[in-house]
Structure 1
Amino acid sequence: MKIQLHYRKREQGLSLVELLVTVVIVLLMSLAISGVLSTSEGKKRTMTSVNDIDQAGNYAMYQLEKTVRAAGSGISDNFQQVFGCQIFSALNGTQILPFTPAMGAPFTALNTALAGVYRVAPLIIAKDLTTPNVSGKKSDVLITMTGTAGFGEVPTPFTTVAGPGQLNLINSIAFNGNDLVLILDQAVTNGSPCMIQQVTAGYAGAINVTAVPLSGVYTSSPIGTTSLANYSGNAFAMNLGNATANMPNFQLIGVGNNNVLFQYDLLQGATFNTANAIADGVFEMHALYFVDTNADGIPDTFIDPGTAGFDFVTLESGTAASVATLKSIKAIRLGLITRTSLSEKPTVPPATTGPLTLFSDLGAPFTYTRTLSTAEKNFRYRTIELTIPLRNSLLLN
């Protein structure tokens, strides 16, 4: 009988206390493993986010450097008289410059400030003209213009006034079908109108051919307050690029909502009145001019783009003084602040304490300081700076 009772006791297995202890141990182990996995995943997410903004920032700066270095190409090398002329252009019979409707985000404020008027210039910085929703602070806009014809900097003089749908030039060797042509009088005052027209598709210019026919989506006359008939026999034509194969780059670049860097095509080669995203992760963008003050072709002084005479409204005025100032700008100092897209878990200390600074090596007058709010400190940031020469403006005096 005793043996039988002993056998039954062994069949009972673990007691309730033993089970509870086992469950507690398993739970503690699960919590420990979950904590390790959570920490590991958090670190992995942080590293991925930081790598993402590093790559996004480098890509954005690459795109900006490429654009800025080329600014002025094809419109400034040998004929600077074109600087400051007011651009008139139409697309499919609709005037696109001056752009009088409300321009799409994030360039609405800039277009309003300029009343839609844009003038030929390699590069202009419009200080504090976008307010991205994520940052909530002001960022700068770049206005850049680049011809892409390859020999567009050599103007071709008129022989007689333009006829209906036709230019009469001393030769047409610089022009082919679908080329975009900038037309401007030689005997003009600063800021005079210049008109963009398009060469007829299939046309092939030659040294002994003087008539250049005009037709295509960019051909229109009159455009606003100017027409081909306004240009005298002393006008000239300059090749800007090709409407179908190699569009000139007349564009605005600035930071918009959701940390996106946008580009807007002033010639509307893409979707009408729509900015195109070119990079993400960009929190703010700021820039300074690097200016040649003694006309030796070497930049020697940084100038804030809000300084009187260097503000974008003055540089877009087309006056002789503004043209001289444009010629003195040889480079810019560009600074980007990038930010991760995912917030870190609230920690002590925060992910980024701040403040963030740009241009600190240039001293107090030029240093930009960005103080972060408590919520903003839960993100991680990077700053990128670069001095970029306007290679086509270095020898302009």
Structure 2
Amino acid sequence: MKLTVHGALSVRQRGLSLIELLVAMVIGLIVTLAVTSVITVGEGKRRTTTSTNDMDQAGAYAAYLLDRAVRSAGSSLTQSTQPTDRGVFGCRLNVASLLPASAFPAPFAKNFKAASDLRVAPVLIAKSQSDAGSDVLVVMGGDAVAGGVPRGLTDPGSANTLSMDNTVGISTDDLVLVSQNGTADCLLEQVTGTSTKVLTVGGTYYTAGKTTSLQTLAASTSTYVTPLGNPANGNVQFQLFGVGDSSTLYGYDLLQGGGTATAQALADGVIQMRALYGLDTNGDGILDAWADPGATGYDISTVMTTTATLRQIVAVRVSLVMRSASKERDPVSAASLTLFGDAVDASKKSLAQTVTLTGADDTHYRYRVVDFTVPLRNMLLLP
């Protein structure tokens, strides 16, 4: 018997072989790794760019704050030196229970040495005296609207009254500075009442005087009263600036006008602040040389008690060292930064300063040096 098989069909394979699947998986992994690498690199660059931009903006803002404060330094005070000295520059500042002080809050608590003997000056620089080792800027000035023209006393006053030719332009709550040439102390007082020729003082900022009494000054016709303006307007400034913890620039109001006894954070990312005095040594209104606040004769203790030196200071040069918040995997910065590389003193000696990055990871951050010069316009207006 013969068996015949009809309709035999060939079986055709369908889909991918194992080898083809493995090849496809390898290609997919390579593409995934490539895309991931591109995203990772892009994200790293984005973080770096964002961190750098934040650092630049913080530096610009810090420079703006310092420029605004220093540029108006000496307002209402500078006219006290011409045509005769009224005893304002270099006088020991007495303010209620605030000044003289035993110490100031951080970052001015540990190293700032002038707290107990702070003198009136448009600008002072305390070399390396913040808690973090930066320079400290001391800025003083009043409200330009007040005029700042000193007025001599015409009749004896008392422990809370000052008698003068007129009280035009002085209002209740204004601050005035009571000084006398040859007297070490000057007293900052607040006006609580006015009549045609008499100011009554008292209020928040009243001081009877610690070593020189207000009654003694008020009794002498060689005493002068300098209007400073109303502190509520925000233009009366007696401030400290310096770098503290967490790479932050702080400001402290010596008058505690905001009701706070602590320093206020102003800008972050600031690891160092250094400053130089700009001097007009011949009185022609042109900056002639720079001076390091650590040099002999230019330390804060000497400058603030030497009127002739205070008169020569017509500018301040400031360098801020900014650090980015983003840490890089590899070192991206040199181990040191140079500040004031082109500055020289009167003898042509270089005043360049070096900031050394000593921390183990310091070079893994990016840095910027913000360098700017601020003219003291009120000092430049003096004859």
Q: What is the TM-score with the length of structure 2 in the denominator? A: 0.88
Q: What does residue 197 of structure 1 align with? A: 189
Following TM superposition, by how much is the alpha carbon of 1:371 offset from its aligned partner in structure 2, in angstroms? 3.2
Aligned residues: 367
Q: Are 1:233 and 2:220 matched, yes or no? A: yes
Query: Any unmatched runs of 5+ in structure 2?
Result: none
Distance of 1:17 and 1:23 partners within structure 2 = 10
Q: What does residue 365 of structure 1 align with? A: 350
Distance of 2:111 and 2:136 partners within structure 1 = 8
Distance of 1:178 and 1:4 partners within structure 2 = 111
Q: What does residue 180 of structure 1 align with? A: 175
| Aligned-partner residue type, residue 375 of structure 1 | D
Distance of 1:4 and 1:178 partners within structure 2 = 111
Structure 1 vs Structure 2 CA RMSD: 2.3
Larger Rg: 2
Contact 1:177–1:199 (8 Å) recurs in 2: yes
Contact 2:185–2:211 (8 Å) recurs in 1: no
1:204 to 1:4, Cα distance in 2 relative to 1, 3 A: farther
1:248 to 1:82, Cα distance in 2 relative to 1, 3 A: same
| Aligned-partner residue type, residue 353 of structure 1 | A
1:108 to 1:301, Cα distance in 2 relative to 1, 3 A: same
Contact 2:126–2:136 (8 Å) recurs in 1: yes
Secondary structure at the aligned position of 2:167 is classed as coil
Secondary structure at the aligned position of 2:52 is classed as helix
Q: What does residue 26 of structure 1 align with? A: 28
| Aligned-partner residue type, residue 159 of structure 1 | T
How does 1:103-118 map onto structure 2 within 5 Å?
A: 103-111=104-112, 113-118=113-118
Following TM superposition, by how much is the alpha carbon of 1:15 offset from its aligned partner in structure 2, in angstroms? 4.5
Secondary structure at the aligned position of 1:107 is classed as coil
Q: What does residue 45 of structure 2 align with? A: 43
Query: Residue deviations 1:138-182, cap 9 Å, x none?
Result: 321111101115234211222233324322222111310100111
| Aligned-partner residue type, residue 341 of structure 2 | S
Contact 2:146–2:229 (8 Å) recurs in 1: no
Following TM superposition, by how much is the alpha carbon of 1:228 offset from its aligned partner in structure 2, in angstroms? 1.8
How does 1:262-273 map onto structure 2 within 5 Å?
A: 262-273=250-261
Name which of structure 1's ranges 60-69 and 161-170 shifts more when overlaid on structure 2. Answer: 161-170
Distance of 2:9 and 2:322 partners within structure 1 = 78
Following TM superposition, by how much is the alpha carbon of 1:354 offset from its aligned partner in structure 2, in angstroms? 4.7
Distance of 1:35 and 1:3 partners within structure 2 = 55
Q: 2:75 aligns with which of 73, 76, 80?
A: 73
Contact 1:75–1:152 (8 Å) recurs in 2: no
Contact 1:290–1:300 (8 Å) recurs in 2: yes
Q: Are 1:148 and 2:115 matched, yes or no? A: no
Distance of 2:232 and 2:377 partners within structure 1 = 26
Query: Any unmatched runs of 5+ in structure 1?
Result: 133-137
Following TM superposition, by how much is the alpha carbon of 1:219 offset from its aligned partner in structure 2, in angstroms? 2.2
Q: What does residue 251 of structure 1 align with? A: 239
Secondary structure at the aligned position of 2:55 is classed as helix
Following TM superposition, by how much is the alpha carbon of 1:16 offset from its aligned partner in structure 2, in angstroms? 4.5
Query: Residue deviations 1:319-377, cap 9 Å, x none?
Result: xxx1111111111221111111111122xxx3222532111123673111223345211
| Aligned-partner residue type, residue 220 of structure 2 | G
Distance of 1:4 and 1:155 partners within structure 2 = 119
Distance of 1:237 and 1:23 partners within structure 2 = 88
Q: Are 1:6 and 2:8 matched, yes or no? A: no
Query: Residue deviations 1:269-320, cap 9 Å, x none?
Result: 124331112222222111111212223332211111111111012123x3xx
Q: What does residue 379 of structure 2 align with? A: 393
Distance of 1:252 and 1:25 partners within structure 2 = 64
Identity, % of aligned positions: 42
Contact 2:75–2:141 (8 Å) recurs in 1: yes
